[in-house]
Structure 1
Amino acid sequence: MPLYSTQKIKLYNSLSGEKEIFTPIHEGNVGMYVCGPTVYSNVHLGNVRTFMSFDIIFRYFTHLGYKVRYVRNITDVGHMVDDVDEGEDKIAKKARLEQLEPMEVVQRYTIDFHQILKAFNFLPPSIEPTATGHIIEQIEIIKKIVASGIGYEANGSIYFDVVKYNKNHNYGILSGRNIEDMLANTRDLDGQSDKKNPQDFALWKKAEPQHIMRWPSPWGEGFPGWHLECTAMSTKYLGNHFDIHGGGMDLKFPHHECEIAQNEACTGQTPVNYWLHANMLTLNGKKMAKSTGNNILPGEILSGDNTILSKAFSASVARFFMLQAHYRSILDFSDDAIVAAEKGYKRLMEALENLTQITASNTSTLDIASWKQLCYDAMNDDFNTPILIAQLFEGVRFCNLLKEGKETLTADDLNDFTIAMNAFVFDVLGLENEKATNSQNDKLEGTVNLLIEMRKQARADKNFALSDQIRDQLLAIGIQLKDGKEGTSFSL
């Protein structure tokens, strides 16, 4: 029997403003789409926090035995500065400033994104589609919206008629905004004269002669609107109606609101059952911003190369720090806070190491089953990682009592407790034992260096067959040797 049959999750649905019991569309399966990054700069810490929230959700569903299809896109088309319909494409702007091809910009920052998420021990999504890889799908959706009468052409661009859509639907259902109030409070900006209403948004934009990123379409050369790509990619891989759509709180309006409208105009049905939004990250009590210098990149936390923190911190410590706040709460990052988190993280890892040295008894004086259910109760309550961590420190207390001989566990209970502690710490929260990892890395380095010396001796003895065998077999397991003037080095 899968775990999910005994554990009922309640999650906060932004659509209803309430916690609801999660019921998947297809039993035992979860379809989840999360808006990924626009790859025109280094991934920032706020992005990492948002994607970590959904990494935890992905991990927990998987832990419970669900088959999860997790789709997280890469926006490589770029969209307009300040996310409006007019202005300069972010990726094209970066390409112009750095004198690069737009796809060079995309490649550089996609690699950065993946390296940072790997360093923070994120599980990769099931599918990671790109906006440029789904231009055809986006054009087909536009055709359907135009055919429905809600999309209209103006000077080579296609816009979504929000007022017409709102006659039979509710534009504002997710954000709680009123279309009449929005229209009354929106001034008519220059460059918006092609629109019927100021609130209308672009589905397809005509490319001006200087615009670099452009594709052919039935309406002439242009590029898709910002909101359209997620509608195309989410429905392609999860269907017109799926379980969960997630993203940062800042995407609720207009991005997610427009996604709902596009999908309903195209398919006639609401796309998503549960909308989940992660809250923002501040730094020393203020909004993070490059312009003010109140900013730190994830890699700078790991290297210590910054003016914000007193020293470098490991990715697991930074991860542990972020998980001490609920994903829907604002989290303030500071040196004092991460220093405190490091102490807590070390206590947790020390307890897990002590647990391996505890011997079983004939009796159990601790109620492990009740403690374990409290851990599940925490995660079942809208993925409440702070409460889970509090329960894990109750487990740390158990470890200390067992080590001191003040409490006892039978072999079965000790095994159950050990499995549960490791599962919640490593599988669900995604933490790593940095000490154990470093020890393993040291052993690996020592082993490879020994093989390099053996290969060097083989070459000196003119035993080139053995020399080549060592090189080729290391390469087969992902270790590449590099011969240079300074000697032989290796990379993973």
Structure 2
Amino acid sequence: MPLYTTQKLKIYNSLSGEKETFVPIHEGSIGMYVCGPTVYSNVHLGNVRTFMSFDIIFRYLLHLGYKVRYVRNITDVGHIVDDAEDGEDKIAKKARLEQLEPMEVVQRYTVDFHEILKAFNFLPPSIEPTATGHLIEQIEIIKTIIDKGIGYEANGSVYFDVVKFNETNHYGRLSGRNIEDMLANTRDLDGQTDKRNPQDFALWKKAEPQHIMRWPSPWSEGFPGWHLECTAMSTKYLGNHFDIHGGGMDLKFPHHECEIAQNEACTGQTPVNYWMHANMLTLNGKKMAKSTGNNILPREILTGENSILSKAFPASVARFFMLQAHYRSILDFSDDAIVAAEKGYKRLMEALATLKQISASASSTLDIASWKQSCYDAMNDDFNSPILIAQLFEGVRFINLLNDGKETLNAVDLENLSSTMNAFIFDVLGLEDEKIADGNNDKLEAVVNMLIGMRNQARADKNFKLSDQIRDQLIAYGIQLKDGKEGTTFSV
């Protein structure tokens, strides 16, 4: 019997603003769509945090026994700079600056995206469609919206008539807006636009002569609107009505709002049952931005080649750090925070190693069944990873008590403790036991001990300049020497 039959999952639905009991459209099967990256630059840490949130959600749904079709797109056209209606496509702009073909830019940064997500141990989605691979579907949706009287052509571009749509629907309900306030707060453009209303958004844009990314359509040579791409790809692979749609909090308006409008205009029904949004990541208490230098790329965390962190950190440590905050909470990244996370991560891995050495007893003195359910309760409460981690450290406490001989477990309970710890740490949280990091630590210890020997010899030879140089250089690399009665030890 699948676990989902006994576990009651609740999801915070951005559409209702409440936690709701999750009931899939089709029992045992889930359709989930998450807005993927616009591939015009290296994936940034905020993106990784968002996609990690949905990786955890994907993993837990699979753990519960659901069959999940997870669709995450690649936006490779149509995303205008600063998300405005007019301007230069982000990919085209990058291509012009670097003197590349646009699809070279797409390929370069799609590869980077996949490499980073693989390094952080993300499960691949079931389907990863591209916007340029679904232009026919997008054009057909535009035709339908025009036929329904909610889309209109103007000088080769096609726009969605928000006011017309709002006569029978509510444009703005996902983000808590209403059309009257939006229109009242929008500056009148005095004929500088082809739009009937300032809030109307593009379904198709006619390409200006200098615009290098363009395709033929019934209206003009041009390119699709950014919002339209996700509507086409989500409905093609998940149907007009599916279970979960996710993305970053910044996409709630206008992107997801426009998706809802497009779907409802075409089909007359709401497209998604549960809208989920992951919150933002800050760096040292401030918004991350290249322009201010308050920025770090995911790869730079792994290599240590940055001016933000004191050293390099394994991907699982960075992953563990991110999972210590709930996906709907703002998370602040800093050197102190990830150093603390590394200590917690090591405690988990050390406990698992200790658990393998513990033998079963004739009786149990710990309530493993209740503890196990508390782990599920945490994830059933809108995927609350920080509470789950707290429960896993309760499991660490159990392991230490067992190892010290202060508590006992029979064979069944010991196996239950072991399988639960392993399932939630590796399968659900997606952490890895950093064997490579452990190997590096062994090599590091050997090298530092060799340097300690050289320093001891230098001190015996009264070459204090060299001994101090060795000590100071190690400190610069984050390695602290401590001289004691039993000799010299070090800490990292």
Match in the other structure for 2:258: 258
Match in the other structure for 1:180: 180
Match in the other structure for 2:234: 234
Match in the other structure for 1:168: 168
Match in the other structure for 1:490: none
Which amino acid letter does the alignment assign opposite residue 114 of structure 1? H
1:347 and 1:367 map into 2 onto residues whose CA distance is 22
Match in the other structure for 2:348: 348
Shift of 1:427: 0.2
Q: Secondary structure at the match of 1:342?
A: helix
Residue 216 of structure 2 corresponds to residue 196 of structure 1 = no
Match in the other structure for 1:331: 331
1:376 and 1:195 map into 2 onto residues whose CA distance is 51
Shift of 1:187: 1.0
1:418 and 1:294 map into 2 onto residues whose CA distance is 42
Deviation by residue 1:383-414 (Cα, 9 ceiling, x = unmatched): 00000000000000001011111111111111
2:45 and 2:439 map into 1 onto residues whose CA distance is 28
Match in the other structure for 1:303: 303
Q: Secondary structure at the match of 1:421?
A: helix
Match in the other structure for 1:26: 26
Q: Secondary structure at the match of 1:227?
A: helix
Choose 374-383 or 186-195, whichever is displaced more. Answer: 186-195
1:136 and 1:364 map into 2 onto residues whose CA distance is 63
Q: Could you tell me whether the CA contact under 8 Å between 1:161 and 1:197 is conserved in 2?
A: yes
What runs of 5+ residues in structure 1 fail to find an aligned partner? 443-492
Q: Could you tell me whether the CA contact under 8 Å between 1:86 and 1:191 is conserved in 2?
A: no
Q: Could you tell me whether the CA contact under 8 Å between 1:78 and 1:92 is conserved in 2?
A: no
2:190 and 2:299 map into 1 onto residues whose CA distance is 40
Match in the other structure for 2:246: 246
Q: Could you tell me whether the CA contact under 8 Å between 2:78 and 2:225 is conserved in 1?
A: no
Shift of 1:191: 8.1
Match in the other structure for 1:94: 94
1:118 and 1:298 map into 2 onto residues whose CA distance is 12
2:191 and 2:64 map into 1 onto residues whose CA distance is 51
Shift of 1:188: 3.1
Choose 182-191 or 290-299, whichever is displaced more. Answer: 182-191
Q: 1:27 to 1:316 in 2, by over 3 A?
A: same
Shift of 1:178: 1.2
Residues 58-457 of structure 1: pairs in structure 2 closer than 5 A: 58-189=58-189, 192-435=192-435
1:250 and 1:188 map into 2 onto residues whose CA distance is 25
1:162 and 1:255 map into 2 onto residues whose CA distance is 14
Residue 4 of structure 2 corresponds to residue 11 of structure 1 = no
Which amino acid letter does the alignment assign opposite residue 135 of structure 1? L
Shift of 1:380: 0.1
1:227 and 1:54 map into 2 onto residues whose CA distance is 20
2:128 and 2:177 map into 1 onto residues whose CA distance is 31
Which amino acid letter does the alignment assign opposite residue 259 of structure 1? E
Which amino acid letter does the alignment assign opposite residue 298 of structure 1? P
1:267 and 1:208 map into 2 onto residues whose CA distance is 32
Q: 1:330 to 1:45 in 2, by over 3 A?
A: same
What runs of 5+ residues in structure 2 fail to find an aligned partner? 443-492
Residues 39-58 of structure 1: pairs in structure 2 closer than 5 A: 39-58=39-58
1:148 and 1:43 map into 2 onto residues whose CA distance is 38
Shift of 1:435: 2.9
Shift of 1:190: 7.9
1:191 and 1:140 map into 2 onto residues whose CA distance is 29
Shift of 1:78: 3.8
1:40 and 1:145 map into 2 onto residues whose CA distance is 30
Shift of 1:416: 1.1
Residue identity (%): 86
Deviation by residue 1:300-328 (Cα, 9 ceiling, x = unmatched): 00000000001111100000000000000
1:330 and 1:190 map into 2 onto residues whose CA distance is 40
Shift of 1:114: 0.3
TM-score by length of 2: 0.88
Shift of 1:84: 1.2
CA RMSD of aligned residues (A): 1.4
Which amino acid letter does the alignment assign opposite residue 270 of structure 1? T
Q: Secondary structure at the match of 1:425?
A: helix
Q: Could you tell me whether the CA contact under 8 Å between 2:36 and 2:73 is conserved in 1?
A: yes
Q: Secondary structure at the match of 1:250?
A: helix
Which amino acid letter does the alignment assign opposite residue 210 of structure 1? Q
Choose 15-24 or 188-197, whichever is displaced more. Answer: 188-197
Which amino acid letter does the alignment assign opposite residue 284 of structure 2? N
Shift of 1:192: 4.8
Which amino acid letter does the alignment assign opposite residue 388 of structure 2? L
2:192 and 2:293 map into 1 onto residues whose CA distance is 34
2:389 and 2:192 map into 1 onto residues whose CA distance is 50
1:134 and 1:126 map into 2 onto residues whose CA distance is 17
Shift of 1:194: 0.3
Which amino acid letter does the alignment assign opposite residue 412 of structure 1? V
Q: Could you tell me whether the CA contact under 8 Å between 2:78 and 2:224 is conserved in 1?
A: no
Q: 1:355 to 1:235 in 2, by over 3 A?
A: same
Deviation by residue 1:445-475 (Cα, 9 ceiling, x = unmatched): xxxxxxxxxxxxxxxxxxxxxxxxxxxxxxx
Matched positions, count: 442
Q: 1:292 to 1:419 in 2, by over 3 A?
A: same
Which amino acid letter does the alignment assign opposite residue 79 of structure 1? H
Q: Could you tell me whether the CA contact under 8 Å between 2:314 and 2:437 is conserved in 1?
A: no
Match in the other structure for 2:36: 36
Q: Secondary structure at the match of 2:226?
A: coil
